[in-house]
Amino acid sequence: MIFLTTTAETLTGAVEQVAEQRQWIDGVELRVDLLLESERETAPRFRALVDSLESRRTSHIPLIATIRRETDGGRSNQTDVARLKSLSACAASGFDFVDVESDVAPMLRSGDLGAALIGSGVTPIVSTHDFAGVPEGVTDLVDAAAAVGQNAIVKLAATPNSTADLVRLIRIADDFGARRVEHIVLGMGAFGFPTRVLTHRLGNVLTFASAPGDTAAPGHIDPETLATQYRISEATDDTRYFSVIGNPIGHSRSPEYHNGRFSSDGINAIYLPVLVDDTRDHFALAEAIPLLGFSVTIPHKQAVIPSLAETGEDVRAAGACNTVVRCPGGWKGINTDVLGFLAPLEEVLDRDLSACRVLMIGAGGAARGIAYGLLKAGSEVTVWNRTESRARGLVADLTEFSLPGSIRAVGSVTADATERPDIVINTTSVGMHGSGDPIDWFAFTGDEVVYDIVYTPPETPLIQRAAAAGCRVITGDRMFDAQAAAQYELYRVLATAGLGAASPDQT
């Protein structure tokens, strides 16, 4: 269930947020502490106001009343007694849940206030916030909730500071599940993001979301993204999980791409972005979720390799792996950047790559996979790099593989007509965010195919200059799409074959 956490300062504003997000949400958490002080006493009217929206619908939308303390990241500085009184008033007006901090929960066990609140039939959410890390044990939390009543839900919002912390948080959710304790376990911040989406897998009663552009808690995303991109309400025990790992990871286009394709193909699978600081810990996470496969982006494309049971020649030649899938002995690494690079080129060319002379600019990580793909296709490759020694190193490394093409490094590019390239490829980062042209000294004849792997923006200065000279151009977004399509095909086969299946054939 997706619950919208309101961020408005007025009750009317909160109702408007509900109306705007209604089609994506299953419930609402009214953050009473975020309302203006003058508005807070009106909180019990929220039920009636939301119901008046609902009159056009048949469902009863569940409501949570939360008055978060300043020490827990909220704005309330009321006493505990005053907050419990306000929560009681909300419960009496028809709220379904009240959020009570675990250290305040014992107050519910005795006295009129506790009796009134519990007696109203409301479900207490006994919450704990840890803004520093992930707690070691959870027995105290379970006891605190059990003392409040059988129907209490334990909520733990912790802050994973690493991939290892995220694994521990998932195990905490599993611990609650094993004890049959109703729970909501969420990781705040960037490392915790997967917990916002893994509602079914973690056994969470619900997940929270904020209206677009209005984050109520670190790591919240908007309800529409949870509902339509991650399809969290459709998750079942049979859902298959995939991910992309990187650091940072927020900018990755892969979740939108793969989730979109799973959705349109009707495949019960979710693809998560995962911030990873240590790839070894990610392999523990991949077992804990469990994942069937994952994509790898900067800076982990080399670091994953030692943990793989199997690697394709593409990974060994490129020295980089962008795709990992389960295989019988563990994990297999593949480099779909190689396929992704070649596919748009083969579409544009009117002859075979084995008949092409290629000038490749750059000799970094991305260049290796590209050079391997070109050599495998039989091309004649000339490498020019700002730092010539690096180009020579790349050539020496690739010469160790018996591939049909040829490769050499040059310190300068001559204007000799017999040396003119058919294809010019930029593998450097120059041009990213419009930062320049890596070969502004090179004059195009208009006969070259010019390929830039930079895709932010797709129309780099190099691409613009080549197009103006009459060249056929290939922009980096086409390589992204082609490598993602090759990855998706691997994931699709795994998702439909099931957990523990052998990895699909891949050359």
Residues forming the site for ligand ATR (CB under 6 A): 362-367, 385-387, 390, 428-430, 438
Phi, then psi, of 8 in degrees rounded to 5: -70, 155
- Beta pairing, strands 357-361 & 406-410: unpaired
Closest CB 405 distance from ligand ATR, rounded Å: 20
Q: Tell the smallest beta-carbon distance from residue 90 to ligand ATR (Å).
A: 54
State how far Cα 334 lies from the chain centre.
Answer: 20
**In whole angstroms, how close is the CB of 452 to ligand ATR at the nearest point?**
12
Decide if 76 contacts 99 (C-beta within 8 A).
Answer: no
Percentages of the chain per state (helix, strand, coil), in multiples of 5 = 45, 20, 35
Size (the chain), residues = 507
Determine which one of 155, 301, 332, 376 is catalytic. Answer: 301
Between 255 and 369, whose beta carbon lies closer to ligand ATR? 369
Q: Closest by alpha carbon to 194, among 154, 235, 153?
A: 235
Distance CA 427, CA 438 (A): 10
48 pairs with which residues across the strands?
Answer: none
User: Residue number with the shortest CB distance to ligand ATR?
Assistant: 364
Pair of tokens at residue 405: 């093409």
Confirm whether 301 is a catalytic residue: yes
Q: Is residue 499 a contact partner of residue 240, using CB atoms and an 8 Å limit?
A: yes
**Residue 323 C-beta: closest distance to ligand ATR, Å:** 16
CB closer to ligand ATR, 171 vs 390:
390
The residue among 336 and 428 lying less far from ligand ATR, judged by its C-beta, is 428
Could you tell me the smallest distance in angstroms from the CB atom of residue 368 to ligand ATR? 8
In whole angstroms, what is the distance from residue 115 CA to residue 101 CA?
A: 17
Pairing of strands 291-296, 323-327: antiparallel
- Closer to ligand ATR at the Cβ: 417 or 441? 441
Cβ neighbours of residue 114 closer than 8 Å, sequence gap 6 or more: 84, 107, 108
Q: Name which of 235 and 430 has its Cβ closer to ligand ATR.
A: 430
Distance of CA 459 to the CA centre of its chain: 26
CB of 299 to ligand ATR, least distance (A): 9
- Residue 93 or 247 with smaller CB distance to ligand ATR: 247
Is residue 212 reached through a cis peptide bond, with omega within 30 degrees of 0 on the bond before it? no
Active site residues: 301
